[in-house]
Structure 1
Amino acid sequence: MPAASESLAGLLRDCEARLTESKRSVDDALELVRRASALAQQAPASGEAPALHALLDSHRDELVGLVLSALEQGGKTRETRSDYLNSLIYREEENQYRVGRRQVGLTDSEKRVLDLLWQAMPQPVARRTIHQALYAEGEQATIGTIDVFVSNLRQKLKLASGGRDFIQSVRGQGWALKSDYCRTRSANGDANAEPGRQRA
């Protein structure tokens, strides 16, 4: 099996395990709440309400803790999945950018702009710096063209991620990628915690 397929299979197995664990915790907490609710409804008819209320009150912290723990685990799983699917990823082996596993279709100029932002991350890159990198001296291109490239790049990344804005405008300095939303995936499938150190 190719390395990429093994990496995907491992990710899916990890997701399945996390979801199963979260489901079990939620099911246990839900069953506990249902049983407590059923007892509370039966208590008035049987005359055991005071004793039951005292029992439930004595275990209130435990009950609340179990429910919150289950909800927290389920929430973390959803957040982890959402964060991965909407992260901007630079794949070293392909020299390519993706949002999650979706390839982002970029023009050559947009790709070069993104390369510059990625290399400088989290520091901003000035408009003139991008212009000089894209155009040799004497080439006819207004500096305002860079604004168009950045705008198109921003919109494509937003579209691929469902609305996440990866590019931050820094007043008087240019543009910067938001490093919290970015990661590097090396040839062996490992994610790099400091994507700005990787040269695209």
Structure 2
Amino acid sequence: MPAGSDSLARLLRDCEARLIESRRSVDDALDLVRRAGELAQEASGPDAAPGIEAMLDSHREELVGMVLSALESGTKTRDTRAEYFNSLVYREDENQYRVGRRQVGLTESEKHVLDLLWQAMPQPVSRRNIHQALYAGSEQATIGTIDVFVSNLRQKLKLASGGRDFIQSVRGQGWALKPEYCRNRPAQGDSAVEAGRQRA
């Protein structure tokens, strides 16, 4: 068997094993939910002990945690999932940035700055280059305005991700996005900036 076929066979076997394990985890979670549902029905009956419903309600977070734990067993660790869902991604079809599933609300100028950082990643973009891109050489704003845009952008990304700092300052060179915190990076030659301009 060719080496490529052997590698594909191993990959498919691994996928099969993971799917089987996931199915077991889902079955366990469904069983847990069904048992909790039966208890809830008993609690709502005419002869139910009034404390059962209160007990279920007081353990709601624990029940949800147990279900999520069952679903997570045999798949990615919780830390890995958190890393994935707190990553910055550019959705070209929507022309917007998200942190996980959360859309990042940006002004037009903030989005233009993020476009520039995204396209240049992992290289830094200077304050002057950002100013020229935003104002095309005009004097509509002082160059210090760029610091305000970057600061606001940094805070919005932190808020959307629960505190993650996506933008690093590079002394004497400007700012850069941290590529380890980003997903679905554009391929060389693709441009989020151009995509944004075409939709404008």
Report the TM-score, using the length of structure 2 for normalisation. Answer: 0.58
Give 2:15's aligned residue.
none
- Structure 2 gaps of 5+ residues are 1-18, 29-72, 193-200
- 2:36 is equivalent to residue 17 of structure 1: no
Deviations 1:80-114 (A, max 9, x none): 21012100011111111000000000000000000
Give 1:199's aligned residue.
191
The structure with the largest alpha-carbon Rg is 1
Q: Give the distance between the partners of 1:162 and 1:19, measured in 2 at CA.
A: 32
Give 1:157's aligned residue.
157
Runs of 4+ in structure 1 off by over 6 angstroms are none
Give, in angstroms, the shift of residue 195 of structure 1.
Answer: 4.1
Give 1:94's aligned residue.
94
Q: Give the distance between the partners of 1:128 and 1:89, measured in 2 at CA.
A: 26
| 3-state SS of paired residue (2:176) | strand
- The percent of aligned pairs where both chains have the same amino acid is 78
Q: Give the distance between the partners of 1:105 and 1:161, measured in 2 at CA.
A: 13
Give 2:142's aligned residue.
142
Give, in angstroms, the shift of residue 19 of structure 1.
Answer: 9.4
Amino acid at match of 2:156: K
Give, in angstroms, the shift of residue 18 of structure 1.
Answer: 8.8
2:22/2:74 contact within 8 Å kept: no
Deviations 1:17-42 (A, max 9, x none): 29939x9xxxxxxxxxxxxxxxxxxx
Cα gap change, 1:17 to 1:125, in 2 (>3 Å):
same
- Structure 1 gaps of 5+ residues are 1-13, 24-72, 185-193
- 2:111 is equivalent to residue 111 of structure 1: yes
Cα gap change, 1:166 to 1:196, in 2 (>3 Å):
farther
Q: Give the distance between the partners of 1:178 and 1:121, measured in 2 at CA.
A: 7
Give, in angstroms, the shift of residue 76 of structure 1.
Answer: 4.5
Give 2:130's aligned residue.
130
- 2:83 is equivalent to residue 83 of structure 1: yes
Amino acid at match of 1:93: D
Structure with bigger RCO (C-alpha 8 Å, 6+ apart): 1
